């Protein structure tokens, strides 16, 4: 089985690549990534020399390149994670999100369709990794199920919703074997420090203000990234073609409560008197169109495929903070921009 994973140098993608390369030594795993600001090959240092792994630098928006790559490599399956993923960036630059998340996805679908049409025994699955944000926002009650109507509010979620629709359209129109999963907020090692949890870990470490949008009352359902990777593994291998699965952590928290918990945990880890870090909390102007609450009903995934999250929030947050505190070089390189040199050292000069 030759599997193309896109976006494998990013946060979630790197955990998925590591899991597949290590767990399935008989698979050949290709990691296709443009290495935008969010892509960092240092995330995969431990597996970069494995014989069943290859990194390919490339842009999914470049249709000619993608077509040629698929013609040459004849992939058996695709797991598609490459995307622009940060809501705040989508508010300032929506077009980049349309290009990568919509056009890039359609380019991959076209190349997959060509392989599938040439030999449908060869190409078995296009797995599209998506988000719960496509469903919009909830009030105090209820949860997103796979039947919830799409109602995206940010340019990011609108672009992901559009890509989901294209994936389903390629199944219904051309018979392409597809599967989609929509996951809640991830956290864990290798998370780019522009997102709430790693941003606050980094700021606490440096005694900088912790910017909380609005009143901090927005609710997110947090899932440890390694649990997302095992869910993707389960869905990739066991799902019914043409179906959708929600993935969530059964772990809803108001932003302000997550940050208070993090402050307390880091008072302890950094040997600061209790209450020190909480003083860094600073309420700032709210995000435009800020969704109030996300909550995932992941019963279908549990009942049909037997997947449940394995890491509690307490354990996951502990492991995450420990990882950031003991990976200073990673954090310094990412915040200084030095990480971009890793590709040149490892691949260009080889």
52, 22 contact by CB (below 8 A): no
164, 150 contact by CB (below 8 A): yes
Angle at CA of residue 82, ends 38 and 120, nearest 5°: 160
Q: Which is nearer to ligand NAD, 10 or 316 (CB)?
A: 10
210, 216 contact by CB (below 8 A): no
Q: Measuring CA to CA, which residue among 82, 74, 59 is closest to residue 117?
A: 74
Active site (annotated) includes residue 156: yes
Segment near ligand DAU (CB under 6 A), from 16-24, 128-136, 231-239, 306-314? 128-136
Segment near ligand DAU (CB under 6 A), from 90-98, 106-114, 194-202, 314-322? 194-202
Residue of 80, 220, 228, 293 interacting with ligand DAU (CB under 6 A): 220
Report residue 349 as tokens.
């000069």
Q: Quick one: what does residue 212 bind among ligand DAU, ligand NAD, none, with the CB cut-off 5 to 8 Å set by partner type?
A: ligand DAU
Work out how close the CB of 27 gets to ligand DAU at its nearest, in angstroms, rounded to a whole number: 26
Residue of 90, 100, 162, 251 interacting with ligand NAD (CB under 6 A): 100
User: 238 — phi, psi (to 5°)?
Assistant: -115, -5
Bridge pairing between strands 77-80 and 125-131 = parallel
Residue of 58, 175, 211, 242 interacting with ligand DAU (CB under 6 A): 211
Work out how close the CB of 207 gets to ligand NAD at its nearest, in angstroms, rounded to a whole number: 26
Rounded distance, CA 344 to CA 21, Å?
Answer: 23
Q: Which is nearer to ligand NAD, 167 or 280 (CB)?
A: 167
Interaction site with ligand DAU (CB under 6 A) = 85-87, 131-133, 184-185, 195-196, 199, 211-213, 218, 220, 255, 287, 294
């Amino acid at each position: 089985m030759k599997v193309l994973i896109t976006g494998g140098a990013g946060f979630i993608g790197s955990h998925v690549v590591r899991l597949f390369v290590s767990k399935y030594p008989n698979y050949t795993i290709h990691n296709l990534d443009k290495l935008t600001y969010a892509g960092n090959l240092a995330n995969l240092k431990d597996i970069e020399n494995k014989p069943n792994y290859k990194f390919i630098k490339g842009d999914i928006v470049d249709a000619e390149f993608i077509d040629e790559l698929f013609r040459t490599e004849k992939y058996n399956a695709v797991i598609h994670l490459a995307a622009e993923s940060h809501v705040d960036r989508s508010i300032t630059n929506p077009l980049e999100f349309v290009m990568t998340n919509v056009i890039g996805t359609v380019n991959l679908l076209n190349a997959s369709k060509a392989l599938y049409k040439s030999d449908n025994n060869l190409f078995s699955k296009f797995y599209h990794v998506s988000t719960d944000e496509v469903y919009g926002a909830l009030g105090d009650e209820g949860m997103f199920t796979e039947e919830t109507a799409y109602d995206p509010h940010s340019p990011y979620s609108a672009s992901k919703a559009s890509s989901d629709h294209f994936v389903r359209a390629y199944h219904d129109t051309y018979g392409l074997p597809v599967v989609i999963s929509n996951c809640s907020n991830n956290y864990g090692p290798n998370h780019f420090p522009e997102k709430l949890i790693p941003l606050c870990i980094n700021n606490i470490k440096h005694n900088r203000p912790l910017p909380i949008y609005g009143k901090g009352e927005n609710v997110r359902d947090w899932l440890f990234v390694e649990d997302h990777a095992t869910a993707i593994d389960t869905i990739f291998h066991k799902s019914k073609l043409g179906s959708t699965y929600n993935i969530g952590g059964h772990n809803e928290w108001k932003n302000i409560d997550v940050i208070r918990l993090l402050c307390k945990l880091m008072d302890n880890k950094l040997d600061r008197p209790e209450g020190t870090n909480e003083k860094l909390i600073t309420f700032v102007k709210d995000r435009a169109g800020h969704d109030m609450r996300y909550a995932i009903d992941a019963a279908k995934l549990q009942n049909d495929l037997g997947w449940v999250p394995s890491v509690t929030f307490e354990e996951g947050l502990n492991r995450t903070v420990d990882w950031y505190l003991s990976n200073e070089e990673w954090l310094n390189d990412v915040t200084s921009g030095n990480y971009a040199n890793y590709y040149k050292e490892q691949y260009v000069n080889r």
